[in-house]
């Protein structure tokens, strides 16, 4: 299945940069939870993968092993995409606003209670958490808020004060 971002590192760097801008230390485990949450909510909201990533059910919680290894000794020196697509950036901003303030333990306990994580745990240590299971768990809003409470359309006001929903302009696309 194609993904809307080139790799998981682009999303990881996005969260690391947002945390840095807000003078917050982003623990590696919290980064892992945010990546997992992002992939799952993106699946529910858009029925596509956000990033080409594989999450496994580690004893600590859901982990993307490649990003985990790369960030294990701090921010890696990699070429990352500085500018994500506008819609993706708006989505990730929503995830950060909703979950970025929560501590790592709270995020971990929420994610360990999902059906997707539990099914992977039953298959064995470090078993892959299937994308379909993630989507189903978050669509049912198991131990997490529903997608409508996380990903909200951007509402702005016209000069007369009337609210309008803002979407990215795509040339040639009919509404």
Q: What percent of the chain has pLDDT over 70?
A: 86
Q: What is the pLDDT of residue 146?
A: 60
What is the rounded CA–CA span in Å between residue 23 and residue 144?
Answer: 26
Cα–Cα distances in angstroms (integers) from residue 93 to residues 20, 38, 166, in the given order: 14, 10, 15
Q: Would the pLDDT of 93 be above 70?
A: yes
Q: What is the pLDDT of residue 109?
A: 85
Q: Would the pLDDT of 21 be above 60?
A: yes
Cα–Cα distances in angstroms (integers) from residue 54 to residues 64, 91, 127, in the given order: 6, 20, 10
Q: What is the pLDDT of residue 11?
A: 95
Mean of the per-residue pLDDT values of the chain: 86
Return the residue matching tokens 């699946």. Answer: 43
167 torsion bin: left (phi>0), alpha (psi -120 to 50), beta (else):
beta
């Amino acid at each position: 299945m194609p993904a809307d971002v080139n790799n998981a590192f682009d999303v990881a760097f996005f969260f690391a940069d947002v945390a840095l801008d807000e003078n917050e230390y982003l623990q590696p485990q919290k980064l892992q939870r945010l990546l997992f949450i992002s992939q799952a909510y993106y699946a529910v909201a858009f029925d596509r993968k956000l990033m080409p990533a594989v999450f496994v059910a580690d004893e600590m919680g859901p982990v993307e092993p490649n990003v985990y290894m790369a960030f294990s000794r701090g921010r890696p020196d990699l070429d990352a995409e500085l500018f994500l697509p506008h819609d993706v950036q708006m989505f990730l901003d929503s995830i950060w606003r909703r979950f970025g303030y929560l501590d790592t333990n709270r995020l971990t306990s929420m994610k360990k209670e999902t059906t997707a994580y539990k099914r992977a745990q039953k298959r064995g240590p470090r078993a892959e958490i299937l994308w379909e299971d993630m989507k189903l768990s978050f669509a049912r809003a198991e131990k997490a808020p529903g997608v409508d409470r996380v990903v909200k359309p951007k509402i702005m006001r016209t000069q007369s004060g009337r609210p309008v929903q803002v979407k990215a302009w795509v040339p040639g696309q009919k509404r």
